[in-house]
Structure 1
């Protein structure tokens, strides 16, 4: 079974081209046994597993057809969709992965994660993440009425846009000391989040692979197939 890893699609009703790109990816791999890993920020914002919005219907239908054909889907939460849980994944037989996810492939020890925890220099975000991901607070958040969560989502998106418009704003990349710390005992680290796709040699025997974000303006994404343990390569997925 072929293994495919993607991240940072940021799907939303406002960006139909990204959704079409994801649906095309599923269709292109439906008839070849595929194990699809989505390493966070699948959706630009996720408020409720019970969301029945019309724009989600073709996504769920395509995923149901994909898994019915014998393929597998595994999801790991990102900083944009950390509320998404097994309830939504049950609609199409998906599996929820806790972060980090450790696995062995072709004799290599792999560590999969979204990547935001590697950006340890972003102190304010790490503090916020620790608070918002507290199981008690997360449980309360999930139980709130959907309409209230929509307002809350709009508030956080507006704050994010304000931060990015600030003259002092610079996207914070990973802290390499944190990368090396988390790669202890690991051969390959695979993550997204930073929107800086690359394959980096950390040592003679360790590799860091950063998945690319899905870019609506030119219809491309950098994705990863696990096929050759001696040679990793990011592939450009093009969509229209």
Structure 2
């Protein structure tokens, strides 16, 4: 019995080694799990569910094959794929979850999320996030021609790279007080998230009670998977071919 968690793959046609590792993972590991949770940033940037590219269709096909084999698959939007929506879910069979979701992980109440909402010291990013999550703005964006959306996204990605290069690493990490607030709010002693690209298992206390925060790794240099069983949680890596 295993439940798998992944995030921050940043899949794109320009990084075939990541896609190959992902496909191998889906076909050889995920297919034998009870469930797969994708905690955001599956794609480098998802422009819309109507993406006609062969690349997008190939990724959809992997998820469809997995869910049709009977494996439950859940998705939380990240900061790179917040436009992934209902059509993707219909075409693949995955279930889209809220940005903060509480699950029962083998009897342990667990809060899962992408992780960007925990980085509250990054005020500029939080302002940007609030803007792009406005329903009316997404409604307008999704009705633009696909090539126009792609041009806009390319410009945004360039701006993001420039801004990140000037930020301190501490600002882009989670704020501990926000972690504790969210865990207390949901009454959980286990949190799982991605986003920061700092894989680790953190043990600390809230109100003198032991709690755990597990941070998933990115897939830039190797695959990263959290493997959970009824008795354990292990962060593991997967080599690129």
Task: Assess same fold via TM > 0.5.
Answer: yes
Name the counterpart of 1:239: 240
Q: What are the equivalent positions in structure 2 for 1:207-226 lying under 5 Å apart?
A: 207-215=212-220, 218=221, 220-226=222-228
Unpaired segments ≥5 residues, structure 2: none
In structure 2, relative to structure 1, the CA distance for the partners of 1:64 and 1:192 (3 Å cut) is: same
Correspondence for 2:133: 133
Cα pair 1:192 1:211 within 8 Å, conserved:
yes
Offset of 1:71 from its aligned partner? 1.1
Aligned residues: 234
**Following TM superposition, by how much is the alpha carbon of 1:75 offset from its aligned partner in structure 2, in angstroms?**
0.9
* SS of residue in 1 equivalent to 2:5: strand
Instruction: Tell me the alpha carbon deviations over residues 63-112 of structure 1, each in whole angstroms, 9 at most, x when there is no partner.
Output: 22222211122111000110111201221211111110111223211001
Label 1:72 to 1:176 Cα distance change in 2 as closer, same or farther (>3 A).
same
The equivalent residue for 1:120 is 120
Which of 194, 197, 204 is the matching residue for 2:196?
Answer: 194
Q: What is the TM-score with the length of structure 2 in the denominator? A: 0.92
How far has the Cα of 1:137 moved from its partner? 1.5
Q: Corresponding residue for 2:83?
A: 83
Separation (CA, whole Å) in 2 of partners of 1:89 and 1:151: 25
SS of equivalent residue, structure 2 residue 124: helix
Deviation at 1:20, TM superposition (A): 0.6
The normalised TM-score by structure 1 is 0.92
- CA-based RMSD of the aligned residues comes to 1.5
1:206 partnered with 2:208: no
State the 4+ residue runs in structure 1 displaced beyond 6 angstroms: none
Between 195-204 and 38-47, report the one with greater CA deviation: 195-204
1:67 paired with 2:73, answer no
Distance in 2, matches of 1:239 and 1:129, equals 32
Moved more, 139-148 or 111-120: 139-148
CA 1:59/1:44 → structure 2, altered by over 3 Å: closer, same or farther? Answer: same
Contact 1:33 1:70 in 2 (8 A): no
Aligned to 1:148: 148
CA contact (8 A) 2:193 2:214 kept: yes
